[in-house]
Amino acid sequence: MPALTRRPEPLTSPAAATVFTMVLTQGPVSRVEIAKRTGLSSAAVTKAARPFIEAGYLEEMEATEHTGPGAGRPASPLAIRPEREYFIGVKITDDGLIGVLTDLRAQVLETDHRPLADARVESVLADLAALVAGLRARRPEYGERCHHLGLSISGDVDHDTGMVRYSPFLGWRQVPLATYAAQATGLVVTIENDVKALTAAEQWFGEGIGLSHFALVTIGIGIGCGLVIDGRVVVGAHGVAGEIGHIPVGGEAPPCHCGGHGCVEAIAGTGPLLAAVRAATNRPGMTIDEAIQAAHDGDERAREVFARAGHAIGLAMAAMANLFGPARIVVTGDVAGLASYGLLEGQLRQTFAGQAFGAAAGCEVVLRPRTFEHWARGAAAIAIKTLFTLRER
């Protein structure tokens, strides 16, 4: 059963999806400009936009430009009415829920955090239902116009069926999360892998606007990657495309939780990285913050561990760039991952530049810090994107 079955009535054709998406992600924009960018005729743009205007999703602004040089009819830009509909996004971690309520542009209006009592599915669902109800109750209009919930979770997630096939940090296997969450909250639910959800948010509302090819790499507990090729988030036949954290770069060691050996994640993920620093410095009780500080203070043993992690990530990023040729790679992560990045960056960039082939070495690599609320916003963006695009899979 698909995780989402409802769509707005105006979304009836590829042209409608194209027009609405352009206004949502790049507006306000005139019909003339939409036609120029998309290749649609002016009549087709007007036909596609009209139902959205009538349904209250779009509005015509005052005329600010002309359709041609000299005398001409002023063009009225189309703009989103962001308050027309609200969305909730929740990032599920191994120990908590981070929730946001957004408008149609994925602008965060409300936030909430809720620790998990435990990782049992029924317990997480109870906490999720309470969080969602609390967010919707903050304003009457939220309860009236918020009907969609996006969930993001690390691991192997089937967006189409709403199934969490495997989430290593929660220990879940074959959990029909979308169905359970819909029953618990009464909302229409979409779920996605957390990295792919964040990638979708960057595509529509962040660093990826206007780019047909870009990648997002996340550093933290795991090493993840989201890919956008020809304007679409790549999922692959099995839904696990972009898992650069499980590219083997370390030979037969160390072992990875996935069952493989030498994976990037087994070298550069927060847990393995900390374990390696503890072993190198003979400080078994060291925290990740202390490991980072030791490296910053010049402990060469700690610095070598971080450099190895940067080398592993750089190799994986170069392999990805050689295969897919993104115009930009956005690097982000959790708090520990971003704190580590300054120690990883030099070796990461050096390895990437040395291993990337030809013009791929010129790919722009940018660091963009993202909080857990941004990850939850990614979940909301998935709900928005799924609602307002025709089926891509």
Q: Write out pLDDT tens, residues 236-288.
A: 777 677 889 999 998 777 888 888 899 999 999 999 999 999 999 999 999 99
Q: What percent of the chain has pLDDT over 90?
A: 67
Q: Which amino acid is at 98?
A: I
Domain with CATH 3.30.420.40 in the chain: 85-200+374-387, 211-367
Q: pLDDT class for 64, splitting at 50, 70, 90? A: low
Please enumerate in sequence order all residues whose Cβ is within 8 A of that of 357, keeping only pairs 6 or more positions apart, or say none. Answer: 318, 322
Domain with CATH 1.10.10.10 in the chain: 14-80
CATH number attached to the domain at 85-200+374-387 = 3.30.420.40
Q: Which is more confident, 223 or 8?
A: 223
Written out in words, the top-level CATH class of the domain with range 14-80 is: mainly alpha
CATH number attached to the domain at 211-367 = 3.30.420.40
CA distance 358 to 117: 51
The pLDDT of residue 335 is above 70: no
Two tokens at 115? 């620790």
The pTM is what? 0.83
Handedness of CA 99, 100, 101, 105 (dihedral sign): negative
In this structure, the number of other CB atoms found within 10 A of the CB of residue 21 comes to 17
Render the burial of 22-39: b for 16+ CB within 10 Å, e for the rest. bbbbebbbbbbbbbeebe
Cis peptide before 28 (omega within 30 of 0): yes
Averaged pLDDT score across all residues of the chain:
89
Describe the crossing of helices 288-296 and 335-355 by its angle, rounded to 10 degrees: 50
Quote the pLDDT of residue 8.
62
